[in-house]
Chains A and B, each alone.
Chain A
């Protein structure tokens, strides 16, 4: 399978082998997003879609793995594995049966900045599904059997990752770039920290982290605002008003040098990156366009063109903006045989330099904009994806009308904007983290 990924709606005339198509504008269906506010003050974005009788709900509590106490790295991740393993009157077996027998899908996950969850249910089982979610968030049991079982699964997973070059390369990058800051710590923990987590730690996690004040909710599917409001209050209303979160300072990543971790594998994995741009920066969309041109645009990107298409050095190379709250990043990755790691890294550096020098043409920007605007509606074709998009809109403070306005933000980006932001973004030192047996490449700190 080939790789390519990502995100139009303007008047486009495309000349193609004598074929001339005149394509009219189609509005994204954004106007339908409702902001629901319940009597208890819980807010959610809702996009109603009555075609199929089910609903997807996604939520996000601010405060993730970076909040895990010292020595308890991986607490958020372990809690994510355990909230759906028994709550209220249901032990683990009963809770899992209640979910699976009714085709209710409930899952939790943790990243550096937050704790997320998704609930998916057919209309027939909706009330019950929301009740199970309420129990999971407010009365999780943390019985000994599931705690030890999930701990065992996490330890098995960490052991497997010990020799996974992708995991190791990313770990090493974050450990170096954020040394001394919570972002340096592994979000899944280490065997030692996971072994140390107690049921009391898990209870404290629930009491301190899951609150109404740091909660963002998105709902998509066959449900009206009137139907949703009482369910939201019943499900989230009992959570404390505010979380207890430790203040964590923002941080600049330290991105000089090259890390090499030797591993005897035929292909080296390379993770690279440096500071990015805050999500609320006025130049964010220009940066988004710039990254599309450099490494975000699949087969339209410079990195793919130079490193894969012209030279056949990789199967996959890409870059992206990672909107980490305390330190926005620009990150990328590639994998190439050990003999060509140096060449591939030099090519990434050369393309970064071209971008930093402003070697960007009007066609680059126009092509990026037609893709990024035209493909935006493609993201809004399933309830799960819409619910996740709605949550991100809330968390990032983008506003209820974001789906309508978003393509306008991209359209407003000019060639000068992209050049300006590219100079600012891509002139930075780039830290490369290599895992494998690269030839002629040495680690260095400067």
Chain B
């Protein structure tokens, strides 16, 4: 048991394993005549497939004043079509012996079923059907809005750490829509209408804006005719470019403190604006992944060793970075004190460790050590059908290619200690950062 103390940030993402293992997946790809991209990864251990459809649209593409609208639409996509009676989609999948669900993040909305191979065509037909034939009643749209408000209460409003996470993002990004909560602000969710959702649906849901990823007991050769008979019948239509507000240069360090009655265990998170694979400076992304690993992943990382083991100040400490994001992402460092230690003491120790990175105190030996581990861990990623589907879906909706995913091990292997030092210096700048503190209420002066 290693309690993870990581404030939830991108609420509705199911994170892909950090390590996409390349050369290991050996995907096949083809594109349908309507522009829908298809990725197939074979895994024949059980007569089962993971079937995923990814749309290149997410919360960062919400209309102004309607944050979280893509997530609302995601929920409504389960309501029905001309062929599927209201509320029957998931029930039909269940009667086929399958599991289904969906997820929304900043850059994508994804729908999936886990299903026996010989029932795949049926769910493909259903998924293709709801890509263009969605029907929603007024009553359904109102009830589902209530469901999402309850979802928000569960995930955010009942959770002080999530409340801080929302505010941290809102301050990290001065302008770019990654400042919005994935689920949306409460008052904006309350304003959602059926027409909002349908307008968004008609704008973004099209085969040429979607990616099909199938992982499991099937070959590309066998999948192709199924894909042509289902998704292939939907005509392509114009989809707008993803034009998002641009982030201005960041020039001031920010601090956000959330004091909350229910906080018993304080914590600090430092978030730095960082390049993604897809942005300017993206060549640094692999070095940043190595940096996050050696600095703050696991119990042998620098932060854990220094703050938790050697100094005994923190109950937990770590760092997190992933390059898969359409626009600029964040590099995050966090710690939580042991009972009896102040947050200030932990922050001082945390700042000392960051200063060491900036002074270039990173050795070749530790870079080699974490690279070896990252590559070894990648082997495990091949074992999960849905895990592999997520790696490709996230990559292809955030500006990466199948080749990029496959080249991940080589690119990690190629990272040098000099690049890791340079990446630390370029990214860990106070003026690009927000420091978020989760604190108990201020004590009244005692009488």
By a beta-carbon cutoff of 8 Å, the part of chain A in contact with chain B is 1-6, 8-9, 12, 14, 16-19, 21, 23-24, 26, 29, 49, 51-54, 77, 80-81, 92-93, 96-97, 100-103, 107-109, 120, 122, 145, 148-150, 152-157, 159-160, 162-163, 165, 263-267, 269, 297-300, 305, 308-316, 335-337, 367, 370-371, 373-378, 380-384
Contact = CB atoms under 8 A, between A and B. Distances in A.
A202 to B, nearest CB: 14
Nearest to A368: B94
A154 B265 CA distance: 12
Interface in B129-177: 129, 142-151, 153-154, 157-158
30 contacts: A1-B103, A2-B75, A4-B100, A8-B96, A8-B116, A14-B95, A17-B84, A17-B129, A21-B119, A81-B2, A93-B300, A103-B379, A108-B1, A145-B312, A148-B312, A153-B316, A155-B315, A155-B338, A155-B339, A156-B315, A159-B339, A264-B261, A267-B154, A269-B158, A298-B94, A300-B94, A335-B154, A337-B153, A382-B384, A383-B383
A87 to B, nearest CB: 15
Contact of B97 (A21, A163, A370): A370
Contacts of A384: 383
Contacts of A378: 48, 97-99, 114-115
Contact of A335 (B43, B150, B309, B376): B150
B233 interface: no
Interface string B375-403: 01101101111000000000000000000
A29 B157 contact: no
Contacts of A305: 87
Contacts of A370: 94-97
A337 B94 contact: no
B320 interface: no
A8 B47 CA distance: 12
Nearest to A148: B312
Contacts of A373: 97
Interface of B: 1-3, 5, 12, 14, 43-48, 74-75, 78, 82-84, 87, 90-92, 94-104, 114-119, 121-122, 125-126, 129, 142-151, 153-154, 157-158, 216, 261-265, 298-300, 305, 308-309, 312, 315-316, 336-339, 369, 372-373, 376-377, 379-380, 382-385
Contact of B90 (A26, A93, A96, A298): A298
B309 A103 contact: no
A300 B90 contact: yes
A101 B372 contact: yes
Contact of B104 (A1, A310, A337): A1
Contacts of B316: 153, 156
A383 B384 CA distance: 9
Contacts of B148: 315
Contacts of B100: 4
A367 B312 contact: no
A100 B151 CA distance: 36
A367 B95 contact: yes
A440 B101 CA distance: 35
B119 A149 contact: no
A152 B315 contact: yes
A231 to B, nearest CB: 19
B156 to A, nearest CB: 10
Contacts of B265: 156-157, 159-160
Given A1-B101, A4-B101, A153-B338, 7 more contacts: A26-B47, A81-B2, A267-B153, A311-B146, A315-B151, A337-B153, A382-B385
Contacts of A5: 99
A119 B92 CA distance: 37
A187 B263 CA distance: 22
B339 A156 contact: yes
A100 B94 contact: no
Contact of B94 (A3, A51, A371): A371
Contacts of B46: 29, 377, 380-381
Contacts of A77: 1
Contacts of B99: 4-6, 375, 378
Contacts of B121: 21
A2 B78 contact: yes
Nearest to A18: B83
Nearest to B183: A1
A102 B104 contact: no
Contact of A299 (B94, B117, B144): B94
Listed from nearest, the 3 A-B pairs whose CB atoms lie closest are: A374-B97, A312-B146, A17-B83
Contact of A313 (B87, B146, B263): B146
B312 A4 contact: no
Contacts of A2: 74-75, 78, 101-102
Contacts of B84: 16-17
A10 to B, nearest CB: 9
A107 B48 CA distance: 29
B143 A311 contact: yes
Contacts of B336: 156
A102 B383 contact: no
B114 A335 contact: no
Contacts of B264: 159-160, 162-163
Contacts of B372: 101
Nearest to A366: B95
Given A159-B339, A374-B96, A100 B300 contact: yes
Contacts of B315: 152-153, 155-157
A16 B150 contact: no
B383 A156 contact: no
B225 to A, nearest CB: 15
Contacts of A165: 158
Contacts of A153: 1-3, 315-316, 338
A98 B230 CA distance: 50
A53 B379 CA distance: 8
**A1, A17, A153, A381: which has the most chain B beta carbons within 10 Å?**
A1
Contacts of A101: 300, 369, 372-373
A381 B372 CA distance: 27
Contact of A381 (B48, B144, B151, B263): B48
A311 B265 CA distance: 36
B387 to A, nearest CB: 8
Contact of A315 (B43, B47, B115, B150): B150
A267 B1 contact: no
Contacts of A4: 90, 99-101
